[in-house]
Structure formats: structure tokens, C-alpha cells
């Protein structure tokens, strides 16, 4: 564990916040008085900005890591804590403001032996933010559970809840889940994008050809459209954007989801509940009795759901779903394992859309470097890489994300090998080379770094670039 303390002088509330942020960033154990000047702290902080002054109101309550480890958080009596608690409310507001400012998708509150660790997931990766003092930490978790209408006396079983709150300068909707861990209850807040009008097909990052291909598939009265990729690859955003595009008064759109990620006006969303027997298959069966036009099934993961989705897609319904597969080829194999015949696939599968998300380089601080030069690709001689220190507009040199796609129409997937071009041959090998090629285009355009392309889509064919 960390040992050194950060040394500074002339405490002022704002400086405490900044020093604490610096301590976290430099992996120091605690903050203590000393000869370091304000400007030295400021200088140290220029590389670790991003917290702004949002935590200033709760500066007096920073975690002092020099103290002894505290007892398990779950042993603390949280029930008797008052619902309204000004320092805790200020900290919660500061945390929510920071999360919204940084466009975080999740907030993790993790009890460890030394205290509560708080991390935000921004653009797919977790980043630590300053921790509150132990007293605040305990009450903060209780407060969040109260806000989410969870049972604060119950700390041994996982729970779910929901928060919808508006503060000074932020609006936050989140799904909250709790988990009993060794040092206390861990809470994760999954933030729901506040504005569903942002869910448009234009914002996904499809190129022109892919955009047209997707619109064509969505315009069909029937068929199955599958979005594939690992967790966190943006499948949900794509599905919801497609549903929003289809969302019109003359269509009956219904979904079976686990859980409902974003509430959409005009769409009948059903949260599946396997504990009472309401699984994807049972929900789909019920939805089919409700005169549907468009059906969205959160995930196809068993034979019953697969066969029902296929049948629906062949009998006048447009069906959208996801599979946790890495490539179009892997998708066909998976569906085959789920008992779907090649004939059914040919008749119902209209489009497979494989996707990943790449972090976008920060336009304000990206650094020029030599671009990778893959064989046979015409590229400019300079590329860009991330400024790892970041600037005030970004985290670690990245800001926002880019969708990278590979679309395979049903026909293309089943064409005999002789008709296939090189792109579909790589599909047949189950590789993600074509996705990687699309990602490299972003690199060539200066939108992302080669390191990011390599992180998300490692090179599989051994060639440079
Ligand atoms: Zn930047």
C-alpha cells in the first residue's frame, strides 16, 4: 500500500480539495501540513485536473488515510442515521455533479479496509476520485440506499433500486445495486442518459454505406437484426437508437429487457423477472399475443428464445436482439448451437451488426506521432497519440467515444465462398480483422490512437498495423 504523505502549507478549503486530489493522483497515503506552497500543489495538479472545484463544499471532510483502518462498514449502525445530513448531502451532490460533468456511465462505491474507494467509469474505463472521510463514507452509502428506496437495514443480500434526482446544475437518473463484500456493502450506480433525444442513428458512428444498410434492414416489415459484441461495446445504445428511429404512432413496439436501461416514451418495455418464471422466452410469448409490429429481445441466450425469435421474424415481425459474440461468424455458430437451423437463419436473419467502442482522442491535447503504416493502406504520414497527462477537457487524453462497426447482411453471410470478397472471408474465419480495419480508419483520420485500436481490437493476423 502507499506510504508517503503529501506535504503542503497554509490550508484553505479549496487547497485541501486540490491537495487531496493530488494525493490520490500521486498514490500518496494522506495529506499533512508542511512547507509545500499553494503554487506547488497547483503545479502538481495541472497533470491531474478533472475534479474542478465540485468537491469544495465538503473540503473539511476529506479522508485522512493516515488513521488506523476502521471497522467493517457493515458493522456500522446506519439505520439510526438521519435522512437529512448536510455534509453527506453536499458530498453526494458533489459526486453526482462530477459524474455528470465527466460523462460517467457508472459510479462505484467500494468499501476497502482503509476506507471507501470511489471510482467513475468514463469512456469505458474506471478512474479513481477523491474519497470522503470514513464518517462521511458510511453515511453516504446509507443516503444513497435511502434515495434508491432500498432497505438500509438489509446489508447481507444484494438489492436493486433506482434514483432520480435533480441538484444544482445536474440531473441524475441511475439504477443502483448493492453487493455484500468483505469490507462492507459495495454500491454501483449505473447512470441512465437523461436525454433520450440523443439516441439517434446518426450519432452512432456508422459510415454512409453502413447507415444505409441499417436503414434498409429497419425498413423491412419483418426479419431479425442482431447487434453483437462483448459487454460495454455499445450494443444497448445501438438498439435503443434503432427503436427510437422506429418509434412511430402506427407501430406497436415492445421490448423484453433485463433490466430496462433507458425508459422510452411510446414503447412497451417489460423487465424480465426470472425469479417468478418471467424469462425472455415467456415474455416473448406474451408479447406475441399483443399484436406486435416490432419486438426487441434484450438477449438471445437459450433455445426457446432463439426459436421463438426466429419464428416471429418469419411471420411478419421485425425482431431486434443482441448476442455476446465477437464476430458475424461466431454469431452464426452460436445460433446454430442454440438449435437454429441454417434454413431458418437464411430466411429470417437480415443483418448482423458487430460493434466496439473506441475512445476518442482529445482534440485539445492530442500529440502528433508517426502513424502506423499497414501494408496496402494509403495514409497520411502523421498520426496522433494520447497525451496521457490529459488536460482540463479530458481524462488521460481521451474524451468521448467512437462506434466502430462491421455490418453483414444475411445474404452476404450465406453466399458460397467463391463469391466472397476478402472482408467476408475474414468473417468466415471468425476474426475481427474487418472491425480492426474500420478502427484503423479512425486512427488515420486522427480521431483515435493506435494504442486504443490495439486495446479494443488486438491485431489477429500478425501484420503490422
Ligand atoms: Zn485533453
CB 141 within 8 A of CB 148: no
What is the distance in A from the centroid of ligand 1 to the CA of 46?
12
Q: CA 135 to CA 116: how far, in whole Å?
A: 10
Residue 442 Cα distances to 233, 371, 452, angstroms: 16, 12, 11
What is the distance in A from the centroid of ligand 1 to the CA of 452?
15
Q: CB atoms < 10 A from the CB of 442, how many? A: 20
What is the distance in A from the centroid of ligand 1 to the CA of 393?
5
> In this predicted model, what pLDDT tens digit does every residue of 163-177 receive, in sequence order?
988 887 778 889 999
What is the distance in A from the centroid of ligand 1 to the CA of 366?
7
* Sequence-ordered alpha helix ranges (H) in 349-463: 410-414, 422-428, 433-444, 450-456
> In this predicted model, what pLDDT tens digit does every residue of 397-424 receive, in sequence order?
998 899 999 988 866 666 544 444 444 4
Reference 188, options 150, 160, 223; nearest CA is 160
Give the residue, 432 or 228, on which the prediction is more confident.
228
CB 78 within 8 A of CB 152: yes
What is the distance in A from the centroid of ligand 1 to the CA of 31?
27
Q: At 104, list the grid cell.
A: 460517467
What is the distance in A from the centroid of ligand 1 to the CA of 33?
31
CB 464 within 8 A of CB 401: no
> In this predicted model, what pLDDT tens digit does every residue of 173-200 receive, in sequence order?
899 999 999 999 999 999 987 666 678 8
Q: CA 305 to CA 317: how far, in whole Å?
A: 15
Q: How many residues does the chain have?
A: 465
Reference 403, options 194, 225, 238, 228; nearest CA is 238
What is the distance in A from the centroid of ligand 1 to the CA of 418?
48
Q: CA 85 to CA 398: how far, in whole Å?
A: 36
Reference 246, options 352, 351, 353, 319; nearest CA is 319
- Residue 132, pLDDT score: 79
Give the mean pLDDT of the chain: 79
Burial class (CB in 10 A: 0-12, 13-18, 19+), 420: middle
Quick check: pTM over 0.85? Answer: no
What is the distance in A from the centroid of ligand 1 to the CA of 399?
7
Per-residue pLDDT for 34 more than 90?
no
CB 88 within 8 A of CB 158: no
Per-residue pLDDT for 353 more than 70?
yes
Per-residue pLDDT for 394 more than 50?
yes
Q: List, as ranges, residues with CB under 5 A of the ion ligand 1.
A: 362, 364-365, 391, 393-394
Confidence of residue 217 (pLDDT cuts 50, 70, 90): very high
Cis peptide before 259 (omega within 30 of 0): yes
- Residue 57, pLDDT score: 44
What is the distance in A from the centroid of ligand 1 to the CA of 383?
16
Per-residue pLDDT for 76 more than 50?
no
Residues 6+ apart with CB under 8 A from 186: 108, 109, 110, 111, 178, 179, 180
Q: CA 121 to CA 169: how far, in whole Å?
A: 20
What is the distance in A from the centroid of ligand 1 to the CA of 199?
25
Amino acid at each position: 500500500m502507499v506510504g508517503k504523505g503529501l506535504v503542503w502549507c497554509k490550508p484553505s478549503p479549496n487547497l485541501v480539495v486540490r491537495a487531496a486530489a493530488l494525493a490520490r493522483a500521486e498514490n500518496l497515503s494522506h495529506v499533512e501540513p508542511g512547507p509545500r506552497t499553494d503554487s506547488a500543489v497547483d503545479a502538481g495538479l495541472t497533470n491531474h485536473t478533472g475534479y474542478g472545484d465540485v468537491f469544495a463544499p465538503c473540503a473539511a471532510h476529506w479522508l485522512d488515510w493516515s488513521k488506523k483502518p476502521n471497522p467493517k462498514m457493515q458493522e456500522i449502525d446506519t439505520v439510526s442515521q438521519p435522512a437529512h445530513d448536510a455534509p453527506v448531502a453536499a458530498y453526494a451532490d458533489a459526486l453526482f455533479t462530477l459524474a455528470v460533468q465527466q460523462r460517467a456511465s457508472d459510479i462505484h462505491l467500494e468499501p476497502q479496509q482503509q476506507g471507501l474507494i470511489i471510482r467513475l467509469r468514463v469512456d469505458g474505463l474506471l478512474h479513481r476520485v477523491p474519497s470522503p472521510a470514513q464518517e462521511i463514507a458510511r453515511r453516504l452509502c446509507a443516503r444513497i440506499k435511502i434515495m434508491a428506496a432500498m432497505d438500509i437495514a438489509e446489508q447481507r443480500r444484494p438489492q436493486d433500486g433506482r434514483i432520480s434526482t435533480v441538484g444544482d446544475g445536474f440531473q441524475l437518473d441511475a439504477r443502483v445495486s448493492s453487493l455484500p463484500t468483505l469490507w462492507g456493502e459495495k454500491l454501483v450506480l449505473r447512470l441512465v442518459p437523461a436525454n433520450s433525444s440523443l439516441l439517434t442513428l446518426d450519432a452512432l458512428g456508422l459510415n454512409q454505406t453502413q447507415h444505409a444498410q441499417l436503414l434498409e434492414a429497419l425498413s423491412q416489415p419483418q426479419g431479425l437484426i442482431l447487434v453483437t459484441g462483448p459487454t460495454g461495446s455499445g450494443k444497448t445504445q445501438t438498439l435503443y437508437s434503432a427503436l427510437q428511429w422506429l418509434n412511430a404512432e402506427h407501430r406497436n413496439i415492445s421490448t423484453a429487457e433485463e433490466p430496462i436501461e433507458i425508459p422510452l416514451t411510446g414503447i412497451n418495455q417489460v423487465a424480465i423477472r426470472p425469479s417468478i418464471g418471467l424469462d425472455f422466452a415467456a415474455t416473448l410469448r406474451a408479447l406475441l399475443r399483443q399484436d406486435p409490429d416490432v419486438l426487441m429481445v434484450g438477449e438471445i441466450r437459450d433455445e426457446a428464445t432463439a426459436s421463438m425469435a426466429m419464428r416471429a421474424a418469419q411471420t411478419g415481425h421485425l425482431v431486434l436482439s443482441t448476442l455476446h459474440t465477437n464476430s458475424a461468424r461466431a454469431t452464426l455458430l452460436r445460433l446454430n448451437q442454440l438449435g437454429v437451423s441454417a434454413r431458418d437463419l437464411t430466411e429470417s436473419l437480415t443483418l448482423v451488426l458487430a460493434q466496439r467502442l473506441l475512445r476518442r482522442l482529445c482534440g485539445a491535447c492530442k500529440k502528433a506521432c508517426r502513424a502506423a503504416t499497414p501494408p496496402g493502406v494509403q495514409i497520411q504520414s502523421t498520426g496522433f497519440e494520447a497525451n496521457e497527462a490529459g488536460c482540463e477537457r479530458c481524462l488521460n487524453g481521451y474524451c468521448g467515444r467512437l462506434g466502430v462497426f462491421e455490418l453483414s447482411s444475411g445474404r452476404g453471410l450465406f453466399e458460397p465462398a467463391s463469391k466472397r470478397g476478402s472482408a467476408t472471408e475474414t468473417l468466415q474465419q471468425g476474426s475481427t480483422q474487418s472491425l480492426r480495419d474500420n478502427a484503423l480508419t479512425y486512427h488515420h483520420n486522427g480521431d483515435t490512437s493506435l494504442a486504443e485500436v490495439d486495446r479494443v481490437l488486438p491485431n489477429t493476423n500478425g501484420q503490422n498495423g
